[in-house]
Structure 1
Amino acid sequence: MELETAVWIAISLVVLYLVWETISPIISPIIIAVTLAYILYPLHERLAERMGNRASAFVMTAVLTVVTFLFIIGFALWINDVKSSLAGYINSFFTWLLTLNLPPTVYELLQRLAQDIPRRFEEYVLGYTYSLPKLSLQAIVMVFSFYGMLVNTRVIRSEVYSILPPENRELAIKLIEKAGETLHTLLRGWLSVSVVKGIMTAAGFMLFGLANAGGSIAAGIFTVIFELLPVFGGWVVWLAGAVYLMNTGNHTAALLFALYGIAFISPLPDIILRPKLGTRERGVNSLISLVGIFGGYIAFGFVGIIIGPVALSLLTTLVEEWKEIKERNVP
């Protein structure tokens, strides 16, 4: 009996290893597909009431396919300009930030980020620039995974709940709910609005002639990064653009761009959208989200922005549950 158990354990380990080796090269597009499906699922539900589940998923997947195709074209055309502009923006920002009187620990962290972010971005760019077929293949995986997630969401949900262990079912449900709260705050609220602000920033930079297409896209990416940070926000980017226009002597353009930034980037969108989407603190603590975002990024790359906060939120749930159990056992 012990030999049979050992054999089945060995077979299971071999199968798990083969499965991991199979999906590890495409884990990033799968995570992106799951993220997009989670963000857009409320829209899918509304469309499914009118045209059916599969038709709604097909329409949304078709739109995503067109957007992805345009992204690949834009990637091929502008990636070098984006890389150069983003590196320049990051170097300028960290050069200014490191001149401030900061605690040694914060200073060391910023120094590491100043070196790591451009290097990591350079690796991503080089990895895809010389292998556009790889990018196209990952895009295909993302599109099909997105469709599968939308069509089978209810089945996946029921299957997940069906395999929960009966003896720890309450804890497992708490973990699932905590992950849902974190994803709701981080993705549907925080990250979605940040991406929209980044798009508006890129459009503003092009409209007011602050940069070419690559530089404008880099400014949009920088806005998303700032929106993920406490204290900072998208206002830093449009303020820098307005100051630049002011220094060139174009005061009217600087004023108009500042008004554009206030109305479409920050703070007016926050005032209007925050009551509807919830604050950053609901479902995820600010400190946990900050540590999770940067720690996840350093460990897993750009998909770590999603993995990190969720993992830390689940850890806090486990700690809270352990404390409750300990308190109940105290006489």
Structure 2
Amino acid sequence: MDRRLAVLGGTLAGIAGLAAVILIDVLGTVFFALTVAFFLAPLRQWLRQRGRSRLTATVAVTTAAFVGVIALFAPIGYLVGARFSEVVALLSSLPTTIPIEIAGFSDEIVIADALVVVESWFRTAATRLVAALPVLLIKLTLFVLLVFSLLYNERDIRSSVLAVIPPSERDIAHALHERTRETLYALYVLQAATALGTFLIALPVFFVWGYSSPFALATVAAILQFIPVVGPSVLIAALVIGEFLAGDVVGAVGIGVVGGGLIAWLPDLAIRPRLARRTADLDGSLYFIGFVGGLLSLGAIGVIVGPLVVALLAETAGLVADEFDIEAEES
């Protein structure tokens, strides 16, 4: 029986690897759908326990996933579509030189070439995003179908996976299952809640400060919250530089102090710790390594894959350490 389970497990792994190679162009979408379905499975079970039918519960949870994805990516489309001309106009209005006067010595720093490069990059990025919209719509459809299928067949999938794992090793699968759930909670719920809090804090700050597009700036700050360590501080730094280039030194210092304190730091101090106890026990440096490594290796989907793989590696290392401790005590 053990040999048969090993053969079945190896066959499953081999076919999964072959499928990954063939479906490489949509592998990111498949993985994203898999993590979302895994994360939302408890919600579907909760609906089932309250008398909802299998189909009704699955449709409700899939709809929630669809709305969540739209809510996540809609601000990016809004910024590119509705605010593109404003961003270009802002870049064009910046001075091409910065005068410097120190102890009677005066000079000018020419930044015209840098502004041209930034504007060109922004135009190229916007053009590529618009050109990719048909493909994105296809991937969104695939995402919805996959989430629905995975949730609807959740019990069969779980039984198939557990069937090829020997009973004596299923505690390992359970530990990895729990770590995956906690990590996905950290990646989805914790980051989303912190991003929402950042938006709600940033919107009145940018409005009071007199920026012409406070909603767009608050949206950018919320999106940047998904980047660990750096976060919205990048936006605050850009605004400080913009105010400085415009000659408003007081405004640059003010947005640096107020924006840095309320937008860049407050959400991490007030929101994240309240939810942190529900998340995976993953060191911040390891999370950052997973985020950056996944992003550089796999692109956007690496933001999820990287930290998840690092978390599972940490969990497996802990299991190995515990196993050695047990063996040492028995000997």
Normalising by structure 1, we get a TM-score of: 0.62
Q: Tell me the distance in 2 between the aligned counterparts of 1:123 and 1:156.
A: 43
Q: Tell me the distance in 1 between the aligned counterparts of 2:164 and 2:315.
A: 20
Query: Residue 17 of structure 1: CA displacement?
Result: 6.2
Alpha-carbon contact 2:179-2:311 (below 8 Å) kept: yes
Q: Tell me the distance in 1 between the aligned counterparts of 2:314 and 2:47.
A: 36
Shift in alpha-carbon separation, 1:63–1:139, aligned structure 2, 3 A: same
Alpha-carbon contact 1:233-1:266 (below 8 Å) kept: no
Pairing of 1:108-257 with structure 2 (within 5 A): 127-166=128-167, 168-189=169-190, 191-197=191-197, 199-200=199-200, 203-204=203-204, 207=207, 210=211, 212=213, 215-225=217-227, 228-229=228-229, 234=232
- The residue that corresponds to 2:284 in the other structure is 286
- The residue that corresponds to 1:297 in the other structure is 295
Match of 1:312 among 288, 310, 326: 310
Q: Tell me the distance in 1 between the aligned counterparts of 2:175 and 2:67.
A: 38
Query: Residue 63 of structure 1: CA displacement?
Result: 5.2
Q: Which letter does structure 1 place at the counterpart of 2:186?
A: T
Q: Tell me the distance in 2 between the aligned counterparts of 1:58 and 1:304.
A: 28
How well do the aligned residues superpose, as a CA RMSD in angstroms? Answer: 4.9
Shift in alpha-carbon separation, 1:326–1:293, aligned structure 2, 3 A: same
- The residue that corresponds to 2:273 in the other structure is 274
Q: Which of structures 1 and 2 has the bigger CA Rg?
A: 2
Alpha-carbon contact 2:291-2:302 (below 8 Å) kept: yes
Q: Tell me the distance in 1 between the aligned counterparts of 2:60 and 2:73.
A: 20
Pairing of 1:25-36 with structure 2 (within 5 A): 25-36=25-36
Normalising by structure 2, we get a TM-score of: 0.62
Determine helix, strand or coil for the equivalent of 2:281.
Answer: coil
Return 5+ residue gaps in structure 2 as ranges. 1-7, 92-120
Query: Residue 221 of structure 1: CA displacement?
Result: 2.0
Query: Residue 329 of structure 1: CA displacement?
Result: 4.6
- The residue that corresponds to 2:97 in the other structure is none
More off after superposition, 298-307 vs 32-41: 32-41
Task: Give me the identity figure in percent.
Answer: 19
Query: Residue 294 of structure 1: CA displacement?
Result: 0.9
Q: Tell me the distance in 2 between the aligned counterparts of 1:46 and 1:14.
A: 34
Query: Residue 34 of structure 1: CA displacement?
Result: 3.1
Q: Which letter does structure 2 place at the counterpart of 1:221?
A: I
Shift in alpha-carbon separation, 1:245–1:84, aligned structure 2, 3 A: closer
Shift in alpha-carbon separation, 1:177–1:51, aligned structure 2, 3 A: closer
Query: Residue 287 of structure 1: CA displacement?
Result: 2.0
Shift in alpha-carbon separation, 1:165–1:202, aligned structure 2, 3 A: farther
Q: Tell me the distance in 2 between the aligned counterparts of 1:296 and 1:76.
A: 24
Q: Which letter does structure 1 place at the counterpart of 2:37?
A: A
Query: Residue 30 of structure 1: CA displacement?
Result: 2.4
Q: Tell me the distance in 2 between the aligned counterparts of 1:82 and 1:205.
A: 22
Return 5+ residue gaps in structure 1 as ranges. 1-7, 90-119
Alpha-carbon contact 2:180-2:308 (below 8 Å) kept: yes
